[in-house]
Structure 1
């Protein structure tokens, strides 16, 4: 069986190297087929030596190639994974955000057919996807970068963030599909109890969930100690995040 790719991106200082190292550890425990684990980053300091590391790809868009740290272009830098070529990576590639917790086997993410498979955004009724977890073919979508290069100003005006642009681009071509419902869940939307019950019961893992996405606040280390990051939301300490996020 040919190896597949697991890919993540880290830049700036919002997420430290421990996020990459823990992601690598979670993948190791939840993948049985052969794979390469690759991190694209602007700073490899502290990342475990057994992780393959490449610099953030230069894609020929000056605003992206010069961006450093957590700038106004922060989320948009994720589109650099669509560089063609993407170093020596080829074939099926599963992109994972670093601020997730893996709760189940990942092998099945390589089974469904499709050019671009992504999470259906939970908070929107249109076709927008959430790019915390998506699968694509490495090096096969350079046209996305070319289109963005030709319309950068309008793209960043018309689309609120990278994931809206990317999922709209694939959607217009009829090349986007979604993960089966329940594979990827939101910590805030699906794990936390609603209303008054959130004050008495800690977040749980929904049945069948394989990846829990932490978007916004809290992040995994916040959930471990019961820190919500928002005055209007209470989060009790979550033992399963402590056990799995390592």
Structure 2
């Protein structure tokens, strides 16, 4: 048994967080099922949530940890509610925990994410969109319970100021994690749009690929797993070549933020490997 697992009593501790109505039971249950299929026991799966309706009974549920701020920041792209997990206590958990976003897809074993670094390290996924800034990604990262308390305290003291300065919570963690973060290999956690989706014009010929070293695929922003399964770039996106062409030449059918050729570039074929893995 390595030192990371020794610090958590030999149990691989996986956590997620859910609030509001954006995701809910479908995403939580599917994430749990993917974890269970891709991890060597013993493990625990804990969801910190404001509702427990419809959840698999094997999921350990905890209330959302408190976050004593007068108001959450506005006009910020960061997911700052994740800072709830940075307190001195995290339900009944102790030692290192592996955090997973609700909308990612697990395709191979998670065991290796408990092998990197030591029990007191913060270990982050590489942020694929900012290679020169060397940022971490909080879609998947590991940290010891209580290690990020100083970050939570700084955020509570000035939530809007922190959000304005760092914009994204992952930049805040990368720049301020005590001792600095370690990073998982870049090839383990991939970005669906950047690493899997075929570039134009190959997107019309081939479905998004799954590189052989990938273990987890993340879906930031609007392209979510259910969209990839159907071959859509976002919830109300086109699903056929004819519809993409129609939106290209008919401005009234495009999103206001799309240019005339966005739909040609956005076209993706239905992605079978997402369907095969993103399930209960």
TM-score by length of 2: 0.80
Is the partner of 1:168 in helix, strand or coil?
helix
Is the partner of 1:195 in helix, strand or coil?
coil
1:12 corresponds to: 20
TM-score by length of 1: 0.91
Partners of 2:125 and 2:189 within 8 A in 1: yes
Q: For 1:227 and 1:159, locate their aligned partners in 2 and report how far apart those are by CA, in whole Å.
A: 31
Is the partner of 1:18 in helix, strand or coil?
helix
Shift of 1:16: 2.5
1:163 corresponds to: 170
Q: For 1:97 and 1:120, locate their aligned partners in 2 and report how far apart those are by CA, in whole Å.
A: 15
Matched, 1:223 2:228: yes
1:90 corresponds to: 94
Consecutive unaligned residues in structure 2, runs of 5 or more: 2-9, 238-261
Choose which of 209, 214, 237 in structure 1 pairs with 2:270. Answer: 237
Q: For 1:44 and 1:216, locate their aligned partners in 2 and report how far apart those are by CA, in whole Å.
A: 25
Is the partner of 1:62 in helix, strand or coil?
coil
Count residues in correspondence: 240
1:208 corresponds to: 213
Matched, 1:183 2:191: no
Partners of 1:89 and 1:139 within 8 A in 2: no
Matched, 1:142 2:149: yes
Shift of 1:71: 9.8
Shift of 1:128: 1.7
Is the partner of 2:275 in helix, strand or coil?
helix
Partners of 1:93 and 1:137 within 8 A in 2: yes
Shift of 1:161: 2.0
Change (3 A) 1:219 1:73: closer
Matched, 1:121 2:134: no
2:161 corresponds to: 154
Q: For 2:276 and 2:36, locate their aligned partners in 1 and report how far apart those are by CA, in whole Å.
A: 15
Shift of 1:73: 8.7
Choose which of 110, 115, 122 in structure 2 pairs with 1:111. Answer: 115
2:6 corresponds to: none
Greater fraction strand: 1
Partners of 1:33 and 1:107 within 8 A in 2: no
Partners of 1:167 and 1:176 within 8 A in 2: yes
Is the partner of 1:63 in helix, strand or coil?
coil
Q: For 1:57 and 1:71, locate their aligned partners in 2 and report how far apart those are by CA, in whole Å.
A: 23
Consecutive unaligned residues in structure 1, runs of 5 or more: none
Q: Kindly name which structure, 1 or 2, has the bigger radius of gyration based on alpha carbons.
A: 2
Matched, 1:27 2:35: yes
Q: For 1:204 and 1:73, locate their aligned partners in 2 and report how far apart those are by CA, in whole Å.
A: 28
CA RMSD in angstroms, aligned pairs only: 2.0
Is the partner of 2:201 in helix, strand or coil?
helix
The runs of 4+ residues in structure 1 deviating greater than 6 Å are: 70-74
